[in-house]
Amino acid sequence: MSARPTDTIAAIATAPGRGGIGVVRVSGQGAAAVARGMLGRLPAARHATFAKFVAADGALIDHGIALWFEAPASYTGEHVLELHGHGGTAVLQAVLARCLELGARPARPGEFTERAFLNDRIDLAQAEAVADLIEATTTSAARSAMRSLDGEFSRHVHALEDALVNLRMFVEATLDFPEEDVEFLEQAGARNKLAEVMAALTALRERARCGAVLREGLTVVLAGAPNVGKSSLLNALAGEDRAIVTDIAGTTRDTLRELVAIDGVPVHVIDTAGLRETDDPVEQAGIARTRRELERAHAVVHLVDARSGFDAEAQAIDAALPAGLPRIRVFNKIDLSGEQARAEEHAGVLTVWLSVRVGEGLDLLRRALLDRVAWHGGAEDALAARTRHLHALDRAVEHLDMAARCIAGDVLQLDLFAEELRLAHRALGEITGEFTPDDLLGEIFSRFCIGK
């Protein structure tokens, strides 16, 4: 674990650009000296104080509200000074420059939150939830991040760790008395306790998986032959004209991405060039990009003209889609073919009939998209999670599964059982930062914005 810092940092904490209010934040042992040099006094702790922000020669830089937080009762656990003034770029830079003159140094991205973690104000999962809350693109994602920031994710992890510690205590006490293996299992209820931990861990992993979906969103590629309505469908899902729509085949030459929310889930819908054989080098480049997007997608919507049906061209495109990629086959333009809007699944193929032009059947497609990627709700109790959290939970599940095998048969392997419990415990500890190496900490906090 990194050593706790002792120097003083400063940064503009509000977003770049002009605004009514801008905030400069200072944290560290020298924050009091910065306050006295900038304001002429140290404000009362935890009270909003109107003050003038002055330069070294006494010239007025700005005036606004100063907030002073004594360590450890602050966001970072250190002395913290916040200067709330006017939100112009020039004035904020002048206030920041004055803080640097008074002994602070520029903060790195995420360094304030990193210090909160190093000073035990929050754990690592909560620290990451800070960034997730800032970056949330839907209300459901923001609520998920807030639950994790409030410590709900961490509390569940700690409860699992406590259960594992309790179980490990019984195992370690029994290792010196191998002739009592069977009695240990019966008296301690080891199998039942392990099953309870596994059930709780599995439930937590599902909540974290839902949170990861809310955080990162789903990527859905619209694919199909030219002029089947891909761009029109993108516009319909987005609720505005984002893509150019014409009757000329091959209009879309490049990929166009739009973020839409479906039941609170962020969905990145990508309109792509129509898949066909062409001699046009520009269109060929667009088709190549289509194929690259397909390799990274969570699902693909294969559009087909309902009038021509699943003909040879549509079959060739379907065969060229990546194997194993969840797909939805959409027959568009049913207003011209005379069919009814509906959704059916046959032989593992989910098919939706709709009309983008008249808006019929679009809700069927929205529900089908979430079903195809195994989203069955859960936004109301999802916990903001990242890929590393899911990997840690997966490893913990694997180790507990191995632990169960060690005590499943007549021949008990308590030494291996104890080791698998230890490894599961360690995997869970990586989530909150108990066993997190310094290089991973640097990677995590470098992705934060400056000033947070």
| Domain stop point among 64, 98, 123 | 123
Asked if the structure places residue 224 within a domain, the reply is yes
Contact between 123 and 114 (Cβ < 8 Å): no
The answer on 272 and 216 residing in a single domain is: yes
The answer on 350 and 262 residing in a single domain is: yes
The answer on 113 and 160 residing in a single domain is: no
How many structural domains compose the chain? 2
pTM of structure: 0.77
The answer on 271 and 159 residing in a single domain is: yes
What is the CATH classification number for the domain harbouring 399? 3.40.50.300
Asked if the structure places residue 115 within a domain, the reply is yes
Q: How far apart are CA 59 and CA 76, in angstroms?
A: 31
| Domain stop point among 70, 96, 123 | 123
The answer on 150 and 114 residing in a single domain is: no
The one-digit pLDDT tens for each residue of the chain (452 residues) are: 456 778 999 999 998 888 999 999 999 999 999 999 999 999 999 999 999 999 999 999 999 999 999 999 999 999 999 999 999 999 999 999 999 999 999 999 999 999 999 999 999 999 999 999 998 888 888 999 999 999 999 999 999 999 998 888 877 766 665 555 556 666 667 788 899 999 999 999 999 988 888 888 888 999 888 889 988 999 898 876 554 444 444 444 456 888 988 888 889 998 876 655 555 565 556 666 777 777 788 889 999 999 999 999 889 888 888 888 888 999 999 999 999 999 999 877 899 999 999 999 999 999 998 887 666 666 778 898 999 999 999 999 999 999 999 888 766 788 898 899 999 999 999 999 886 666 667 777 887 888 77
The answer on 238 and 341 residing in a single domain is: yes
Q: How far apart are CA 131 and CA 305, in angstroms?
A: 43
Radius of gyration of the chain measured on its C-alpha atoms? 28
pLDDT reported for residue 349: 85
Side by side, the strands of the sheet bearing 19-27 are 49-54, 60-69, 80-87, 19-27, 9-12, 105-106
Asked if the structure places residue 442 within a domain, the reply is no
| Domain stop point among 57, 91, 123 | 123
Contact between 372 and 326 (Cβ < 8 Å): yes
SS3 313: helix
What is the CATH classification number for the domain harbouring 23? 3.30.1360.120
Q: Tokens 């909003």, residue? A: 48
pLDDT reported for residue 245: 44
The answer on 172 and 56 residing in a single domain is: no
Asked if the structure places residue 195 within a domain, the reply is yes
The answer on 109 and 199 residing in a single domain is: no
Instruction: Report the length, in residues, of the chain.
Output: 452
Residue span of the structural domain in which 118 resides: 9-123
Contact between 290 and 215 (Cβ < 8 Å): no
The answer on 167 and 313 residing in a single domain is: yes
The answer on 205 and 140 residing in a single domain is: yes
Q: Write b or e for each residue in 190-207: b if 16 or more Cβ atoms lie within 10 A of its Cβ, otherwise e.
A: beeebeebbeebeebbbb
The answer on 321 and 240 residing in a single domain is: yes
Other CB atoms within 10 A of residue 299 CB = 19
The answer on 264 and 140 residing in a single domain is: yes
Asked if the structure places residue 451 within a domain, the reply is no
pLDDT reported for residue 264: 83
Asked if the structure places residue 402 within a domain, the reply is yes
Asked if the structure places residue 449 within a domain, the reply is no
Asked if the structure places residue 279 within a domain, the reply is yes
- Sign of the Cα pseudo-torsion (41, 47, 52, 57, in order): positive
Q: How far apart are CA 306 and CA 361, in angstroms?
A: 13
